[in-house]
Chains A and B, each alone.
Chain A
């Protein structure tokens, strides 16, 4: 029963809000308002345009290394609180070096694969 009430309230809240904004809102339109990025660049050309496939590969490579940075931050924060000479700290250091090592291998792989070549 409480769950039922909860469901009813949740749905009711959503419906009421949507309907209310439509009824109460001022509703001004215009060219700028209708554009894709209301306060950004003016779009040009078709969104269906084809890109060179190299962009995708490059973008993915970028993403991979970008995300790896995220892992490095918490590690760095934890590591600064440790005694650099202790065994635990060495283990932590070892782990992150292994992690970076795998990234380096991935980098070498991408490099040899010719991802960075543009000709």
Chain B
């Protein structure tokens, strides 16, 4: 009990933070409301320290016993807290912007009923908690609850991110399709339970091993796995559950889009790894599962990149590219233990940083008080905001996987993992897709730096708050500097530790001694 609570220390910290910001957001004092993103970031940093604490020293062994994939739990939680802290900087000044401006100008009295900033940050933290919980899920119910805890707040966040009908529409779409996907993977979970007679991953793993040794994995289990993967695929926007991405990403405000690009995606990838960990990569994934993943990876990469090529809107372009990146991630998921999981973790970190950076640039710019949309709005950005132009170029280069930036290291690991797992064809398709993606990422590099300012882009200006710009620059710096320490970002996960034995207090106690 106490061990488990200690393991969940970061989540508890964040929960306290969520409660605090929810209440503090209603304060009539403007300074407190202004400080909310800062408080959120502070709690995330404390949670980051808590993760480091929980997974260090003798506690690491205890944590390892209690979690399905120890390195996954530690690294993803650590990275998530860091990236989320970066994300919280983006939100500064976005939520309730009009309301706060009215209040400050004296046109309106502050009415807590209309304020959403506190709730927004509370939901922000709750969604992060969901992701953190995903990483340590030991059974299907836990995983389901954690996934839903990740998703549910995001629906609300999309709706309240900006006062426009498109945000409402996006939230509606996101919610309904999200509910559909939850139904699908829940059905898959149910079938898995039916096929193995247990909800706990470690026992399920034993059951599958027995079935493999016997008559092979039954059809029910395969159907369950496929449904679970397709359903969870919604979270990472993998084909065939990718339709919502472009509309939702475009409808939400840029900071929320950045959030959607990382948090649900990380949760989905982690959940897939954990579910697949139960059936195990050793001896090969079951044929239907492998085929599903393979087809999904190829289609996701290709459709994502081709879709992105056709876009004029920057956010839609990045939305489609986000789909493509899920395809790359699936290479690592197919590859499995050894390098695959390592690569997935590393790529999640890399993608989180560079995606946040790219959206931070979008969040820092506005045109007549509205978000910028067209690529043309970025033309000649270099002249007005050189730092933002360079940051966008670096993040786009990294998303493209250009050496020696962070995205390259991530992609390198994914490709090596793919080759190692014998998926050479998949890697080649990935390579070709990277080349396709050069077309549109180069636009993001070229238009701001090389393009001449147009009449339209002359009206683009920076948002009043400086924090989104700080986040953009910070992300760009990380994109350049993190590759140096990339070796330490990439924990090696052995096949043996992919799935742990049943977590029981006795072995936890033993590990502590």
- A interface, CB within 8 angstroms of B: 102, 105, 108-109, 112-115
**Interfacial chain A residues near B22, Cβ < 8 Å:** 109
Contact in complex: A109, B23 (CB < 8 Å): yes
Q: Is the beta-carbon distance between A105 and B19 smaller than 8 angstroms?
A: yes
Residues in B1-44 with C-beta less than 8 Å from chain A = 19, 22-23, 26-27
Listed by A's residue number, 19 A-B pairs whose Cβ atoms lie within 8 Å are: A102-B19, A105-B19, A105-B23, A108-B23, A109-B22, A109-B23, A109-B26, A112-B23, A112-B26, A112-B27, A112-B112, A113-B26, A113-B112, A113-B113, A114-B26, A114-B111, A114-B112, A114-B113, A115-B113
Q: Which A residues touch B26, using CB under 8 A?
A: 109, 112-114
Whose C-beta in chain A lies nearest to the C-beta of B111?
A: A114
CB distance from B95 to the nearest CB of A (A): 16
CA distance A112 to B33 in the complex (A): 14
Complex interface: chain B residues within 8 A of A114 (CB) = 26, 111-113
Residues of chain B within 8 A (CB-CB) of A105 are: 19, 23
A108–B111 Cα distance when bound, in Å, is 16
CB distance from B492 to the nearest CB of A (A): 39
Query: How many A-B pairs with Cβ below 8 Å?
Result: 19
Docked complex Cα distance between A112 and B112 (Å): 7
Residues of B within 8 A of A112 (CB): 23, 26-27, 112
Question: Using Cβ atoms and an 8 Å threshold, which residues of chain A touch B23?
Answer: 105, 108-109, 112
A117 and B250 CA atoms in complex are apart in Å by 37
Using an 8 Å CB-CB cutoff, how does the interface string of B90-127 with A read, 1 for contact, 0 for none? 00000000000000000000011100000000000000
Q: Which residue of B lies closest to A91 (CB)?
A: B1
Nearest chain-B residue to A57 (Cβ)? B113
A85 to chain B, nearest CB (A): 20
Interface residues of B (CB under 8 A from A): 19, 22-23, 26-27, 111-113
With the chains together, A114 CA to B27 CA distance in Å? 11
A115 to B114, CA, bound (A): 11
A112, B20: Cα distance in complex, Å = 13
A109 vs B119: C-alpha distance when bound (angstroms): 10
Q: How far is the CB of B344 from chain A (nearest CB, A)?
A: 35
Which residues from chain A contact B19 at a C-beta distance below 8 Å?
Answer: 102, 105
How far is B23's CA from A102's CA once the two chains are assembled, in angstroms? 12
Task: Across the interface, name the chain A residue whose C-beta is closest to B114.
Answer: A114
Complex CA gap A102/B22 in Å reads: 12
Q: How far is the CA of A112 from the CA of B111 in the complex (A)?
A: 10
What chain B residues lie within 8 Å of A109 (beta carbons)?
A: 22-23, 26
Determine the residue in chain A with the shortest Cβ distance to B15: A102
- Report the minimum CB–CB distance from A77 to chain B (whole Å): 22
Q: Which 5 A-B pairs have the closest CB atoms?
A: A112-B26, A114-B113, A114-B112, A113-B112, A109-B23
Which B residues lie within 8 Å of A108 (CB)? Answer: 23
Query: With A112-B27, A112-B112 given, can you name 16 additional A-B contacts, CB distance below 8 Å?
Result: A102-B19, A105-B19, A105-B23, A108-B23, A109-B23, A109-B26, A112-B23, A112-B26, A113-B26, A113-B112, A113-B113, A114-B26, A114-B111, A114-B112, A114-B113, A115-B113
| A113: chain B residues within 8 A (beta carbon) | 26, 112-113
- Which chain A residue lies CB-closest to B19? A105
Cβ of A102 to closest chain B Cβ, rounded Å: 8
CB distance from A86 to the nearest CB of B (A): 16
CA distance A94 to B11 in the complex (A): 19
Give complex CA distance A115, B113 in Å. Answer: 8
Q: Tell me the bound Cα distance from A20 to B22 in angstroms.
A: 58
A112 CA to B21 CA, complexed, in Å: 13
Chain B residue contacts of A115, Cβ below 8 A: 113
Smallest beta-carbon distance B259→chain A, Å = 23
Please, how many angstroms separate the alpha-carbon atoms of A115 and B26 in the complex? 12
Considering the complex, give the chain A residue whose CB is closest to the CB of B122: A109
**A56, chain B: closest CB distance, angstroms:** 13
Q: Nearest Cβ distance between residue B118 and chain A, in whole angstroms? A: 9
The complex places the Cα of A108 from the Cα of B26 at a distance, in Å, of 10
B112 to chain A, nearest CB (A): 5
CA A105 to CA B112, docked complex, whole Å: 16
Write out the residue numbers on chain A whose beta carbons fall within 8 Å of the beta carbon of B111: 114
A114 to B26, CA, bound (A): 9
A108 to B23, CA, bound (A): 7
Bound together, the chains give a CA A109 to CA B111 distance in angstroms of: 14
For A108, A109, A115, the residue with the greatest tally of chain B CB atoms inside 10 Å of its CB is A109
CA distance A113 to B116 in the complex (A): 10
CB distance from A88 to the nearest CB of B (A): 11
Shortest Cβ gap from B408 to chain A (Å): 46
Q: Taking CB as reference atom, which chain B residue is nearest A108? A: B23
Which residues of chain A come closer than 8 Å to B112, judged between CB atoms?
112-114
Q: Please measure, in the bound complex, the distance between the C-alpha atom of A113 and the C-alpha atom of B276, giving whole angstroms.
A: 44
| CA distance in complex: A109, B24 (Å) | 9
Q: For residue A69, give the distance in angstroms from its CB to the closest CB of chain B.
A: 21
Chain A positions within 8 Å of B27 at CB level: 112
**Cβ-closest chain A residue relative to B22:** A109
Residue of A nearest to B27 (CB): A112
Cα–Cα, bound, A112→B32 (Å): 14
For B113, list chain A residues within 8 Å (CB): 113-115
In this complex, what residue of A is CB-closest to B115? A113
For the complex, what is the distance from the CA of A40 to the CA of B26, rounded to whole Å? 43
Taking CB atoms, residues of chain B closer than 8 Å to A102 are 19
Tell me the bound Cα distance from A112 to B27 in angstroms.
8
How many angstroms between the C-alpha atoms of A114 and B118 in the bound complex?
14
Shortest distance between the CB of A111 and any CB in chain B (Å):
9
Min CB gap A106→B, angstroms = 9
**Min CB distance, A64 to chain B, in Å?**
14
- How long is the Cα–Cα vector from A108 to B118 in the complex, in angstroms? 14
Most buried by B among A102, A108, A113, A115: A113
In Å, the complex CA distance between A41 and B22 comes to 42
State A47–B21 Cα separation when bound (angstroms).
39
Minimal Cβ-Cβ distance residue in B for A111: B26
**Cα-based distance from A22 to B27 in the complex (angstroms):** 63
